[in-house]
Amino acid sequence: MHPELSVNAHHFEAMGTTCSLFVVGQSRGRLLEGESWVRHVGARLTRFALDSELSRLNARAGEWIEVSEEMEAVLRAALEAYAMSSGLVNAAVLPSVLAVGYTRPLVEGPTVATLDRVGPTPALPEVLEVGGRGARVRTGSSLDLGGIAKGWMADRLVELLGPNALANLGGDLRAAGTGPRGDGWPVGVGCATLMLRDQGAATSSVRHRRWGEMHHLIDPRSGLPAKTGLDEVSVVAASGFEAEVIAKTALLLGPALAPAYCAAHAMASWLAVGRDD
């Protein structure tokens, strides 16, 4: 039996979601530093602020512009996610996201869908170029970094918080170290609680962020909200970023292919068949 160690926790709202930070052997000040970092980096990567770094990149499509170290890293992560998922996780879906009515935070309500304007999403490597602290988006295209950014941020955040910590950014999380009792951090995955040690977890779902027949998860093959026969996929992987990519890829693959895909790529997984079949 390991003695239970003292855990400091901090919860806050940022990036349109609830964030939770936990540390063992660190002060509350470290948690507040973590919140500050989330707000700072999240403000760079959001599409909902006209003055964010992502919005400026999209607005100046066709031009090479200088980007921050964080933006460059997340853009490279987006290209990696595209390659890992054979194109199913594609940050270039923003035109479709806007067309289905997700033009502003959903707490303000969706806007009118204009589905006649959507079609298959172009390949991300044809849309995005990154190099030398600069980036360029092809004219007529735009990016939504979404879950890719949250998974990447969770991985970076635990490095800031300390060797025994957990960062959960709206369901994209990374656990580092052995947890408060030495046997891992308890994390709910589907219907089970798993003890994670130096692992990430993520859930991809069409059950939430939806309005009428619309929802936020775009299938890049059609440019329309995904209807694959799966409602939700949760996975455990080596990092928060990998878990995010695997979960979204599995959901987009659907129930026939997702189990084998998760068995090959995830450490643990849970799939929910639902109404979008």
**60 assigned to some structural domain:** yes
Cα–Cα distance for residue pair 177/2, rounded to 1 Å: 14
pLDDT tens column, 57-112:
999 999 999 999 999 999 999 999 999 999 999 999 999 999 988 888 878 888 88
DSSP 59: H
Residue 1 domain flag: no
- Which residue type does 101 have? G
Residue 276 confidence (pLDDT) above 70: no
Domain count, the chain: 1
Would residue 2 count as lying in a domain?
no
Say if 177 falls within a structural domain: yes
pLDDT band with cut points at 50, 70 and 90 for residue 275? low
Please give the backbone phi and psi of residue 228, each rounded to the nearest 5 degrees, phi first: -115, -5
Whole-model pTM over 0.85? yes
Q: Are 226 and 276 in contact (CB under 8 A)?
A: yes
Tokens of 50: 């006209």
The tens digit of pLDDT for each residue in 233-266 reads 999 999 999 999 999 999 999 999 999 999 999 9
d(CA 104, CA 47): 9
The verdict on residue 172 lying in a domain is yes
What integer pLDDT is reported at residue 115 of this predicted model? 79
Give the range among 99-108, 120-129, 161-170 with minimum mean pLDDT.
99-108
Q: What is the mean pLDDT of residues 164-181?
A: 96
Digit-coded pLDDT (tens) for 192-206: 999 999 999 999 998
The enclosing domain of 144 has a CATH number of: 3.10.520.10
**What value, to the nearest 5°, has the Cα angle with vertex 224 and ends 242 and 13?**
50
Structural domain boundaries enclosing 160: 7-273
